[in-house]
Amino acid sequence: MNKKEVVYVVSDSVGETAEFVVKAVATQFNGGQVDIRRSSYVEDHEDIEDVIILARQTKSIIAYTIVIQDLKKYLDRRAAEEGIMAVDLLNPLLSAFTKKFDKDPNNQPGMMRKLDDDYFRKIEAIEFAVKYDDGRDPRGVLRADIVLAGVSRTSKTPLSMYLAHKRFKVANVPLVPEVKPPDELFKVPRGKVVGLIISPDKLNEIRKERLKALGLTSQANYASYERILEELDYAEKIMKRVGCPIINVSNKAVEETASQILDILKSERSSN
């Protein structure tokens, strides 16, 4: 490739896939000196005709990722008529998938972009859960899709991460008698807040195990029955002030509690 050749990249979506493939191939020829001109979101014959005219004038290759069959057939036909080399980057693999899975493709443009958007929403939700974990920044309470409130060791953090993987932005707020809850907790729409409680016996057991894992004595105030009753009583008073639904997480798996939270969220939305 002694000069900078022109390749027209045509897609009924963004065209990033086609451009990436063209660049990858171009690197095999004298350093990849190729002028890629992208034509995205083609939606009718007129769009394709514009590319055909340009490619004919510059004697260029057309590389395309088009899944709308009418547009694909039109491009193939017009390229053949004009003597233009047009390369379908998707069809060989689509045909292989069709034969292997005995199923026809959806032929809907932009599916990869939808998957990417879904992925990035998940990553954003995970980052949100980390940033606003354990009441670190009360501003997250007002920005969250779901707010979890409860005493220590009621699975607030695991639930936040689990729900984040389902693309919900979750903030959680610890309820401790010595620490005034953030004002934001009382400003959140009631349907977004869920209180988490647990039986005193179960919490005592969990906290003792936690202290043991940290190499501390199980007699510490953190795990004392009196302290636990005080915290649970305080937490329930705050939850009543907020007016939020309450879930008892005793002996519940994270998945089970998360399912209940989502059911509550769905119920609240449908009633508004």
The verdict on whether residue 156 carries a ligand-binding annotation is: yes
The verdict on whether residue 154 carries a ligand-binding annotation is: yes
Residues 125 and 195 grouped into a single domain:
yes
CATH code where residue 195 lies:
3.40.50
The verdict on whether residue 157 carries a ligand-binding annotation is: yes
The verdict on whether residue 152 carries a ligand-binding annotation is: yes
Residues 164 and 263 grouped into a single domain:
yes
Residues 193 and 150 grouped into a single domain:
yes
pLDDT, tens digit, for every residue of 94-126? 889 888 888 887 666 666 555 567 778 888 999
Say whether 99 sits in a helix, a strand or coil.
Answer: helix
The verdict on whether residue 215 carries a ligand-binding annotation is: no
pTM attached to this predicted model: 0.61
Find, among 184, 168, 167, 170, the residue nearest to 130 by Cα: 170
Total number of domains constituting the chain = 2
Q: Which of 56, 86, 109 is at the close of a domain?
A: 109
Residues 92 and 127 grouped into a single domain:
no
- Average pLDDT score over residue span 154-174: 96
Residues 253 and 211 grouped into a single domain:
yes
DSSP category for residue 180: P
Residues 162 and 224 grouped into a single domain:
yes
Directed axis angle between helix 45-58 and helix 69-82, to 10°?
30
Residues 152 and 25 grouped into a single domain:
no
CATH code where residue 37 lies:
3.40.50.20
Give the strand pairing for 146-150 and 170-174.
Answer: parallel
Residues 61 and 156 grouped into a single domain:
no
- For residue 98, the enclosing domain spans 5-109
Confidence check: pLDDT of 176 > 50: yes
- Average pLDDT score over residue span 129-158: 95
Residues 137 and 245 grouped into a single domain:
yes
